[in-house]
Amino acid sequence: MSLNTNGRHLKLKGMVPAKPGLLRAERLFLADLAGEAERHEDVVKQIKMIIDNFDPRLSIEERNLLSIAYKNMTNVLRNSLRVVGSLETQASRSSGKKQLPLIRGQREKIEHELTEVCKDIVLLLDEKLIPTAKHGEEITFYSKMKGDYYRYLADFSQERDRDHFAELSLEAYKLAYKQALAALHPMHPTRLGLALNFSVFYHDVRKSPERACHLAKSAFDDAVLSLNPSDPGMDQALRDSVTILQLLKDDLILWSEEM
């Protein structure tokens, strides 16, 4: 399927017509099965079929499957990029300079693959998911995803593109944070996950540990101060959010030491 954006036709990878006779629940089952088998590209294909043939308003289960699949796909490529980048640096400083063009070629190949995956999910978010999402948690979740994948692009792009992707990431994070502050409880895992990733953006992309610490500490303090054991469902909120709170605390300690 091709989408027209500013006069250009962009193709969403894997967006193909569903086979006749398969219901939405069957597509979801196949996506879940693919996720269990760690076939993340197949998960994306099945969820895109649901979006294209049934409804762009995804259920929480469908949305989470899509998010986890893209996260796993990009994590593999980002880890590969770190390894090859490290080897490239070592080769440039040693007697292995003869292999440097080969290593550089492999790095560029991985960068291209990672760029394609990141742009694919951003296009899906812009064209299908965000326009149909409800204000509040849904918009926060999808805008956070958009900020994340633009941040990944900013991580390895050349200077001119890095600044462009960084600005797009910042815009998405700001929109998500505005929604989160207005609609979500400070202990809500989506709000805390956004604070964690937004603070990483300030630290890693904007190179500002001060801003990163301010945002992370604000989110951490708001969550702790909001705790009320008598609130219905608070036990579940604690279980869902405790890992993110610990990550925020760990980052605060590390970044404070940097300053």
Q: How far apart are CA 255 and CA 100, in angstroms?
A: 34
Going by pLDDT thresholds of 50, 70 and 90, the confidence category of residue 18 is very low
For residue 174, pLDDT over 80 is answered with yes
Residue 10 banded pLDDT, cuts 50, 70, 90: very low
Say which range, 131-135, 177-181, 234-238, 254-258, has the weakest mean pLDDT. 234-238
Q: Are residues 157 and 248 in the same domain?
A: yes
Same domain, 61 and 161: no
Whether 169 and 82 map to the same domain: the answer is no
Question: Does 174 lie in the same domain as 251?
Answer: yes
> In the listed set 116, 132, 148, which residue is the last one of a domain according to the structure?
132
Q: Let me know whether 149 and 43 are in one domain.
A: no
Q: What is the pLDDT of residue 229?
A: 62
Determine the pLDDT at residue 6. 44
Q: What is the mean pLDDT of residues 159-164?
A: 89
Its domain, for residue 102, covers 1-132
> How many domains would you assign to the chain?
2
Task: Tell me, yes or no, whether 112 and 143 share the same domain.
Answer: no
Question: What is the spatial distance between Cα 183 and Cα 83, in angstroms, rounded to a whole number?
Answer: 40
121 and 202 inside one domain:
no
pLDDT (average), residues 135-163: 94
Split at pLDDT 50, 70, 90, the class of 218 is very high
Please list, residue by residue across 78-104, b when 16 or more beta carbons sit within 10 angstroms of its beta carbon and e when fewer do: bebbeebbebbeebeeeeeeeeeeebe
| 98 secondary structure, DSSP code | G
Confidence tier at 93 by pLDDT (50, 70, 90): confident
Give the confidence band of 96 by pLDDT, cuts at 50, 70, 90: low
Instruction: Give the pLDDT confidence score for residue 22 in this predicted structure.
Output: 83
Same domain, residue pair 73 and 140: no
Q: What is the CATH number of the domain that holds 159?
A: 1.20.190.20
Lowest mean per-residue pLDDT among 35-44, 91-100, 175-184, 185-194: 91-100
Burial of 207 (0-12, 13-18, 19+ CB in 10 A): exposed
Q: Above 60 in pLDDT, residue 74?
A: yes
Residues 23 and 84 in one domain: yes
pLDDT in tens, 30-68: 999 999 999 999 999 999 999 999 999 999 999 999 999
pTM of the complete model: 0.86
Instruction: State pLDDT tens for residues 134-147.
Output: 999 999 999 999 99
Helices and strands in the chain, H and E counts: 10, 2
Do 10 and 124 reside in the same domain of the chain?
yes
Residues of the chain with pLDDT > 70, as a percent, come to 88
Of the candidates 20, 75, 71, which has an alpha carbon nearest to the alpha carbon of residue 49? 20
Q: Which of 70, 102, 132 is the last residue of a domain?
A: 132
**What's the chain's average pLDDT?**
89
Average pLDDT over residues 149-166: 92
Instruction: Give the torsion through C-alpha atoms of 227, 231, 232, 234, to 10 deg.
Output: 10
